[in-house]
Amino acid sequence: MVVRGLDLLYHRAMSVLELQKTIIYGPIASRRLGPSLGINLSSTTANVCSFDCVYCQYGPTTRHLASAAGAEDMFPSCDEVAEALAAALPGIDPPGYLTFSGNGEPTLHPEFPAIVEAVRDVRDRLCPEAKVAVLSNSSMVGEERTRAALARVDLPIMKLDVGSAAAFEAINVPAPGVKFEDIVAGLEAMKHFVAQSCFVADNPGNADDGAVADYVRIVGIVRPAAVQIYTTDRPVARAGVRMVPRERLAGIARRVCEEAGIPAEIY
């Protein structure tokens, strides 16, 4: 087990983050990736996501969607993404990662597979040493086309916060039609990914003994290459949700290592 990152404070005098206003943002100093140039595939005016996580740093989800059907106009085109990235790269120091993240779930984009290929092409031409990453909530991983696109990403970082459908509904608050069992099956079918797991306390919470036991069991089933464990260090979408103490995170990471046999780090 490796413990990293910032000391976690329980009270921060700030509001939830503003939405990203552009397709390309940063570079930012990511806790997990280092210098990272963000690629926002969602609307710049709305949080478009298949989850409404209680700890979301952007506040409550404004467009809660299980798929892009009927909302295609909320997303930039593949050409717009490629052009924005090609325009941004020459003016900055080469980042370590080009990271799909932003104002919502990137794999919801109806052209996500084509965009992955377009970003890889721009990367190969203008920034060949950078890796492509994605921060995904895993909601679309049950689809074969999404898994195929994620296999073309150097570092797929996939959300797995909980170990049961009931905890999934309480913590991640999925859009109707998004099922926990489909996510587990999809992650199990992936050949390589890193899991990202956010733990929060109180009501609702996913850091008590029972929830952690369920979570460790599921980690052992889906077998990620590694697990990134963290808690929120910002104001969150729902009142009453609190950070988990560092000592508790360390205990969860230890259980992942010892019981599931998967390397775990705290960020």
For residue 200, give both structure tokens: 């929060």
pLDDT in the model for residue 237: 66
Structural domain count of the chain: 1
Q: pTM for the whole thing?
A: 0.91
CATH of the domain at 111: 3.20.20.70
Separation in Å, CA 150 to CA 106, 157, 182, 194: 11, 10, 16, 12
Which pLDDT score, from 0 to 100, does residue 15 have? 66
Domain that holds residue 10: 2-266
- Tens-digit pLDDT string for the chain (267 aa): 544 433 333 333 346 788 999 999 999 988 889 999 999 999 988 888 999 999 998 889 989 999 998 888 889 999 999 999 999 999 899 999 999 999 999 999 999 999 999 999 999 999 999 999 999 999 999 999 999 999 999 999 999 999 999 999 999 999 999 999 999 999 999 999 999 999 999 878 999 999 999 999 999 999 999 999 999 887 676 778 899 999 999 999 999 999 999 999 999
Q: How far is residue 110's CA from residue 114's CA, in Å, rounded to a whole number?
A: 9
